[in-house]
Amino acid sequence: DAGITQSPRHKVTETGTPVTLRCHQTENHRYMYWYRQDPGHGLRLIHYSYGVKDTDKGEVSDGYSVSRSKTEDFLLTLESATSSQTSVYFCAIIGTNNEQFFGPGTRLTVL
Protein backbone atom coordinates (compact mmCIF):
# COMPACT_ATOMS: atom_id res chain seq x y z
CA ASP A 1 0.00 0.00 0.00
CA ALA A 2 1.63 3.24 -1.19
CA GLY A 3 -0.55 5.42 1.02
CA ILE A 4 -2.23 7.30 -1.81
CA THR A 5 -5.80 8.52 -1.61
CA GLN A 6 -7.84 10.44 -4.13
CA SER A 7 -10.93 12.57 -3.65
CA PRO A 8 -13.60 12.62 -4.73
CA ARG A 9 -13.84 9.05 -5.98
CA HIS A 10 -16.77 9.86 -8.24
CA LYS A 11 -18.02 13.17 -9.59
CA VAL A 12 -20.64 14.25 -12.08
CA THR A 13 -20.49 17.85 -13.21
CA GLU A 14 -21.72 20.05 -16.02
CA THR A 15 -19.84 21.50 -18.95
CA GLY A 16 -18.19 24.80 -18.12
CA THR A 17 -17.89 24.28 -14.38
CA PRO A 18 -14.53 24.19 -12.57
CA VAL A 19 -13.49 20.91 -11.00
CA THR A 20 -10.62 20.13 -8.64
CA LEU A 21 -9.39 16.63 -7.92
CA ARG A 22 -7.15 15.94 -4.96
CA CYS A 23 -4.37 13.42 -4.52
CA HIS A 24 -2.97 12.88 -1.04
CA GLN A 25 0.06 10.79 -0.10
CA THR A 26 1.37 9.98 3.34
CA GLU A 27 4.94 8.83 2.60
CA ASN A 28 6.72 12.07 1.69
CA HIS A 29 7.32 11.14 -1.95
CA ARG A 30 8.90 13.92 -3.97
CA TYR A 31 7.39 13.02 -7.36
CA MET A 32 3.66 12.87 -8.01
CA TYR A 33 1.74 12.34 -11.25
CA TRP A 34 -1.71 12.74 -12.74
CA TYR A 35 -2.87 10.40 -15.52
CA ARG A 36 -6.14 9.94 -17.33
CA GLN A 37 -7.35 6.63 -18.69
CA ASP A 38 -9.76 6.34 -21.59
CA PRO A 39 -10.89 3.37 -23.69
CA GLY A 40 -8.64 2.96 -26.70
CA HIS A 41 -5.94 5.23 -25.31
CA GLY A 42 -4.55 3.61 -22.22
CA LEU A 43 -3.09 5.79 -19.50
CA ARG A 44 -1.76 9.19 -20.52
CA LEU A 45 0.23 11.63 -18.43
CA ILE A 46 -1.42 14.99 -17.77
CA HIS A 47 1.00 16.76 -15.41
CA TYR A 48 3.59 15.81 -12.86
CA SER A 49 5.36 17.40 -9.93
CA TYR A 50 8.95 17.00 -8.80
CA GLY A 51 8.60 18.98 -5.60
CA VAL A 52 6.60 21.64 -3.82
CA LYS A 53 5.65 24.31 -6.36
CA ASP A 54 7.58 22.43 -9.10
CA THR A 55 5.39 21.03 -11.86
CA ASP A 56 5.65 20.18 -15.52
CA LYS A 57 3.35 19.25 -18.38
CA GLY A 58 2.73 15.79 -19.68
CA GLU A 59 1.36 14.46 -22.93
CA VAL A 60 -2.23 15.73 -22.55
CA SER A 61 -2.00 18.87 -20.40
CA ASP A 62 -4.31 21.18 -22.37
CA GLY A 63 -7.32 22.20 -20.29
CA TYR A 64 -5.72 21.16 -17.01
CA SER A 65 -3.69 22.93 -14.35
CA VAL A 66 -2.03 21.59 -11.23
CA SER A 67 -0.76 22.88 -7.94
CA ARG A 68 1.43 21.50 -5.20
CA SER A 69 1.65 23.75 -2.17
CA LYS A 70 2.77 20.98 0.17
CA THR A 71 4.50 17.65 -0.32
CA GLU A 72 1.52 15.48 0.48
CA ASP A 73 -1.07 17.07 -1.80
CA PHE A 74 -1.20 17.36 -5.59
CA LEU A 75 -4.28 19.05 -7.03
CA LEU A 76 -5.58 18.73 -10.58
CA THR A 77 -7.94 21.46 -11.77
CA LEU A 78 -10.17 21.55 -14.80
CA GLU A 79 -10.82 25.28 -15.14
CA SER A 80 -13.86 24.80 -17.35
CA ALA A 81 -14.80 21.17 -17.72
CA THR A 82 -15.68 19.78 -21.15
CA SER A 83 -17.28 16.48 -22.13
CA SER A 84 -13.95 15.34 -23.58
CA GLN A 85 -12.57 15.40 -20.04
CA THR A 86 -14.93 12.65 -18.96
CA SER A 87 -12.45 10.02 -17.87
CA VAL A 88 -10.92 8.10 -15.02
CA TYR A 89 -8.12 10.05 -13.35
CA PHE A 90 -5.29 8.33 -11.51
CA CYS A 91 -2.68 9.87 -9.27
CA ALA A 92 0.66 8.13 -8.84
CA ILE A 93 3.95 8.34 -6.99
CA ILE A 94 7.30 6.92 -8.02
CA GLY A 95 9.06 4.15 -6.14
CA THR A 96 12.71 3.47 -5.59
CA ASN A 97 13.16 1.48 -8.82
CA ASN A 98 11.26 3.90 -11.09
CA GLU A 99 8.06 1.90 -10.76
CA GLN A 100 4.92 3.88 -10.04
CA PHE A 101 2.15 3.21 -7.57
CA PHE A 102 -1.33 4.44 -8.22
CA GLY A 103 -4.17 5.80 -6.20
CA PRO A 104 -7.66 4.27 -6.48
CA GLY A 105 -8.79 6.71 -9.18
CA THR A 106 -11.48 9.34 -9.62
CA ARG A 107 -14.26 8.68 -12.08
CA LEU A 108 -15.33 12.03 -13.58
CA THR A 109 -18.35 12.52 -15.81
CA VAL A 110 -18.88 15.87 -17.53
CA LEU A 111 -22.41 16.28 -18.89
Partner 1 sequence: RKEVEQDPGPFNVPEGATVAFNCTYSNSASQSFFWYRQDCRKEPKLLMSVYSSGNEDGRFTAQLNRASQYISLLIRDSKLSDSATYLCVVTIAGGADGLTFGKGTHLIIQP
Stretch that binds partner 1, among 11-19, 62-70, 74-82, 99-107 (CB under 8 A): 99-107
Cα-based distances in Å from 61 to 20, 27, 34, 44: 15, 26, 10, 10
Tell me whether residue 27 or residue 59 sits nearer to partner 1 (CB atom). Answer: 59
Q: Are 22 and 86 in contact (CB under 8 A)?
A: no
Q: Which is nearer to partner 1, 59 or 79 (CB)?
A: 59
Residue environment code for 21-30, b if the CB has 16+ CB neighbours within 10 A, otherwise e = bebbbeeebe
For residues 39 and 73, what is the distance between their CA atoms, to the nearest angstrom? 28
Q: Is 98 in the site for partner 1 (CB under 8 A)?
A: yes
Task: Return the number of the residue (8 or 104) whose C-beta is nearest partner 1.
Answer: 104
96: contact with partner 1 by CB under 8 A? no
Contact residues toward partner 1 (CB under 8 A) are 31, 33, 35, 40-45, 48, 50, 56, 58-59, 90, 94, 97-105
